[in-house]
Chains A and B, each alone.
Chain A
């Protein structure tokens, strides 16, 4: 365990921590001996899996189970099975601060990430070894460099066909059912890598878009379209959230009609009199 990770666990005593790790290791060891998953036969586990397992046990296992099998309390899922979500899902959830989750709120929100890239990588490799899922993409899979204007326009078409229903035509996000919402994709620090990972892994209620229907090339053009939309200045002044008639109507009523009322009061007011 590195110095950094040790400093963060200030709540539990070293004894309890050691016991927890011991228990986790025992369970893991026992299970791997019984079930002998294919991964353990294929090749020796990367050394980072050891660190990843420690972080996982302390930060993730209470909801997802020591083996990522998910936890149910009285028939209600506290955390889903994550054995097949892959490294990409772990990287997305942890780098965007959505996991570990602060509490059982309606929807896990974007938050400050307190883990280093190496720690996230270690957990991702540990979870990836549990089953089959998309790997963390390399930069060539989400980089927008070298795309022509025509390809970016095509990305816009793909975005409007597959993404804009929930994320809004300008990537500003929108409401879903039962208080859920699709988060904004622009202006909130969302990285290109996170967009690729979300497309492939379908975090929370978002559907998965597999390489069969959206190739990496397609995803790159979609990301490039979002960057173009986000960086180009607004032709109409304030975008007011980019959500259309609701905020625009409110602004027209409050500022527009309010201003007219103010002018009407000024026109009808009596100025200074001689006595």
Chain B
């Protein structure tokens, strides 16, 4: 105990103590002192004026006014509210600091610090009281009370645990298959443009064209916004058309795109719009490089090579939707997605995702 204090008190250089107090200019010159007082009072005195200005701007400045200078083009009311309110608060602080620096007493003092631990006598007394309390509770003799209490307290965790576990369906294989592993895409569903819901004719798509699209049956959910949002989050797609001679079409995906009049692949392919990393919607498509870039973490997918990852943190290829045309030439889905779309989760089976070089 005492040796600890010795260690903390041994400094390599002697304590110089508090420096000699030198009076400030405002302490000795009455004129300087009055000037400081006026400065502080001016700061505080301006605050009510600014506050009144704030209220006046709030009620009387038309919202349509704008201020424009030095590259700023801002709504005038917001600009003045912020300026007047901000300067008012700032002046309170500046006045207070100036007051403390120039007028309040500035004699330095030092407070001695004492050891934080109690004395040995105090500690012995407290421990003695604890022992006496245990003896008085009679717990050492009446074991039944102790045992039941030990069971009673942990059992209270059970209601909490059960209610927490029952917050949603247990994410077993059945629930996953019915929710995150499926979309509203199905055989024969038309591909329509997002927002305007127009069907898309294969022959009218130009090479280099990108369509942000949706399944036509998304409109069935118009009366249930929550369900529509959930379905949109998984079913959003992009359709692109590339020159078929510039892209790789694996044998297994030859019939995943409509054929042109000559019976050859048309180069119109359809992918999920949801990044396989953490699920951002992506449509930053460069039609010369065929790269699709995710703006969130820069994952880049090659849509000319079945959506394989060419850069970034995504681990799996972008799922491709098999499509074809109906009798009138409009794009329709051949089936739903063959693998779950969207970001990874612990139980996801990645064995069926397309890997670079697969056929």
Q: Which residues of A contact B (CB under 8 A)?
A: 154, 157-158, 161-162, 165-166, 174, 176-178, 180, 182, 202, 204-210, 212-213, 218, 233-238, 263, 266-267, 271-275
Contacts and interface: CB of A to CB of B under 8 A. Distances in A.
Contacts of A237: 72, 74, 78-79, 82
A177 B300 contact: yes
20 contacts: A162-B194, A166-B283, A174-B295, A176-B286, A177-B289, A202-B287, A204-B288, A205-B289, A209-B209, A218-B196, A233-B73, A234-B72, A235-B74, A237-B72, A267-B101, A271-B101, A271-B102, A273-B25, A274-B22, A274-B25
B284 A176 contact: yes
B311 A233 contact: no
Contacts of B93: 263
Contacts of A166: 283-284
Contacts of A174: 295
Nearest to A187: B73
Given A238-B74, A271-B26, A271-B102, 16 more contacts: A161-B212, A162-B283, A165-B281, A174-B295, A176-B286, A177-B298, A205-B286, A207-B285, A208-B209, A209-B209, A212-B198, A212-B205, A233-B68, A233-B76, A263-B93, A275-B22
Contacts of A165: 281-284, 295
B22 A273 contact: yes
A177 B291 contact: yes
A271 B193 CA distance: 70
Contacts of B200: 212-213
B293 A233 contact: no
Given A208-B206, A273-B22, A238 B286 contact: no
A234 B75 contact: yes
A238 B68 CA distance: 11
Contacts of A182: 284
B25 A271 contact: yes
A135 B75 CA distance: 40
A69 B82 CA distance: 59
Contacts of B22: 273-275
Nearest to B192: A213
B355 interface: no
Nearest to B273: A165
Interface in B205-241: 205-212, 240
A162 B240 CA distance: 13
A180 B24 contact: no
A210 B209 contact: yes
B152 interface: no
Contacts of B101: 267, 271
B160 to A, nearest CB: 37
Contacts of B289: 177-178, 205
B74 A205 contact: no
A233 to B, nearest CB: 4
Contacts of B176: none
A273 B23 contact: yes
B161 interface: no
A275 B282 CA distance: 69
Contacts of B295: 165, 174
B311 A205 contact: no
Given A165-B283, A209-B210, A210-B209, A177 B78 contact: no
A273 B25 CA distance: 5
Contact of A210 (B28, B204, B283): B204
A225 to B, nearest CB: 13
B283 to A, nearest CB: 4
A206 B287 contact: yes
A236 B209 CA distance: 37
A209 B240 CA distance: 10
A234 B76 CA distance: 9
B195 interface: yes
B208 A208 contact: yes
A274 B29 CA distance: 9
B214 to A, nearest CB: 10
B291 A207 contact: no
B208 A177 contact: no
Interface in B243-296: 281-289, 291, 293, 295
A80 to B, nearest CB: 8
A36 B286 CA distance: 35
Interface in B66-97: 66-68, 71-76, 78-79, 82, 93, 97
Contact of B23 (A204, A213, A236, A274): A274
A235 B28 CA distance: 51
